[in-house]
């Protein structure tokens, strides 16, 4: 039988888990370690996006393939995106990560080049679709997805690598990426570089592990995760911390992966 928690008990329990796992020791074995290789804003954005997009499967493989791509970009992804030559692209043609293939990679590079030729930061590709009064990032994610898929030369197979609420996805990887870029608490894990999205607008990165833990804590029903349930769980977490509900990703994820809760 699931334990019945009072709000105060649940907050104390999850706050303690956040304190335990939201620290630099968490970084080396997590995909967030990839953007932590860099100090330049745009390099962090690009490395973080690819690490997030690659984040399904075994962590060891995610880290290996993400770092392999950064190596192929000569440890300067922003410079590579803006100024690569046809010869530079040729060395990427054998890159693979599960279903992510060279066709997908070349389109990502093309899209990012178009963004960075117009804007200083990738943040603009999200915030241009976000209103100050929006309660969450639904519009930002849908708008980013639409822009990403809008080019006449967009390969349809690449669509599966960027999720959106309008397709009922939980958008776990994109929400994780936004958490990295937006949250700012000084703990050293998340970067807090983007100021145009508020932490209270973020949505929890919901997957089966997080959903299972949330169900055990009576924060969520046990149905299959989708965007509606990601919003519902985030709403419950706002009751514990209205300004920063997604900090509890550290607790819920770690309870499921490390503590087998």
Q: Which two tokens stand for residue 205?
A: 């990165």
Which pLDDT score, from 0 to 100, does residue 1 have? 53
The pTM for the full model equals: 0.96
> Which residues are CB-neighbours of 72 under 8 A, at least 6 positions away?
91, 92, 95
Dmax (CA) for the chain in angstroms is: 61
Name the packing angle between helices 208-216 and 227-238 (round to 10°): 50
Q: What is the pLDDT of residue 122?
A: 98
Q: What is the DSSP string of 192-212?
A: ----SS-GGG------HHHHH
The alpha carbon torsion through 19, 20, 24, 26 (nearest 10 deg) reads -130
Q: CA nearest 164: which of 181, 147, 179?
A: 147
Measured in whole angstroms, the distance separating CA 57 from the mean position of its chain's CA atoms is 15
Q: Angle at which helices 7-21 and 249-257 pack, to 10 degrees?
A: 80
pLDDT given for residue 57 in this prediction: 87
Task: Single out the residue of 120, 208, 204, 112 nearest to residue 151, CA to CA.
Answer: 112
Confidence at residue 259, expressed as pLDDT on a 0 to 100 scale: 83
Residue 258, token pair as written in the block: 């490390």
Quote the pLDDT of residue 3.
78
- Distance of alpha carbon 36 from the chain centroid: 14
The pair of structure tokens assigned to 121 is 């930061």
CA separation, residue 225 to residues 57, 164, 214, 229, 245 (Å):
18, 14, 11, 6, 18
Rounded distance between C-alpha atoms, residue 244 and residue 45, angstroms: 21
Spans of all domains in the chain: 7-257
Distance CA 193, CA 243 (A): 17
Q: Rounded CA gap, 159 and 242, in Å?
A: 33
**Strand partners of residue 97:** 100
Task: For residue 213, give Cα distances in angstroms to 122, 204, 237.
Answer: 32, 13, 13
- The DSSP secondary-structure symbol of 24 reads G
pLDDT in tens, the chain (261 residues): 567 889 999 999 999 999 999 999 999 999 999 999 999 999 999 999 999 999 988 999 999 999 999 999 999 999 999 999 999 999 999 999 999 999 999 999 999 999 999 999 999 999 999 998 999 999 999 999 999 999 999 999 999 999 999 999 999 999 999 999 999 999 999 999 999 999 999 999 999 999 999 999 999 987 889 999 999 999 999 999 999 999 999 999 999 988 878
Cα separation, 175 vs 139, whole angstroms = 13
């Amino acid at each position: 039988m699931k334990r019945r928690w009072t709000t105060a008990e649940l907050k104390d329990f999850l706050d303690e888990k956040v304190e335990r796992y939201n620290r630099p020791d968490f970084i080396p074995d997590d995909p967030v370690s990839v953007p932590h290789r860099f100090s330049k804003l745009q390099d962090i954005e690009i490395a973080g996006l690819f690490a997030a997009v690659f984040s399904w499967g075994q962590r060891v493989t995610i880290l290996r393939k993400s770092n392999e791509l950064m190596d192929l970009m000569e440890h300067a992804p922003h410079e590579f995106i803006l100024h690569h030559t046809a010869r530079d692209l040729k060395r990427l043609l054998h890159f693979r990560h599960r279903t992510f293939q060279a066709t997908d990679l070349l389109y990502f590079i093309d899209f990012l080049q178009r963004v960075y030729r117009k804007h200083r930061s990738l943040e603009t590709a999200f915030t241009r679709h976000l209103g100050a009064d929006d309660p969450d990032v639904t519009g930002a994610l849908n708008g980013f997805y639409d822009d990403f898929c809008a080019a006449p030369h967009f390969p349809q197979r690449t669509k599966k690598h960027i999720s959106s609420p309008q397709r009922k996805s939980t958008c776990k990887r994109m929400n994780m990426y936004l958490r990295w870029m937006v949250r700012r608490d000084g703990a050293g894990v998340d970067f807090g570089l983007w100021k145009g999205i508020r932490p209270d607008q973020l949505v929890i990165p919901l997957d089966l592990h997080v959903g299972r833990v949330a169900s055990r804590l009576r924060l969520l029903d046990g149905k299959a995760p989708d965007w509606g349930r990601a919003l519902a769980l985030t709403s419950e977490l706002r009751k514990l911390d209205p300004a920063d509900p997604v900090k509890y990703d550290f607790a819920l994820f770690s309870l499921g992966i490390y503590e087998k809760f």
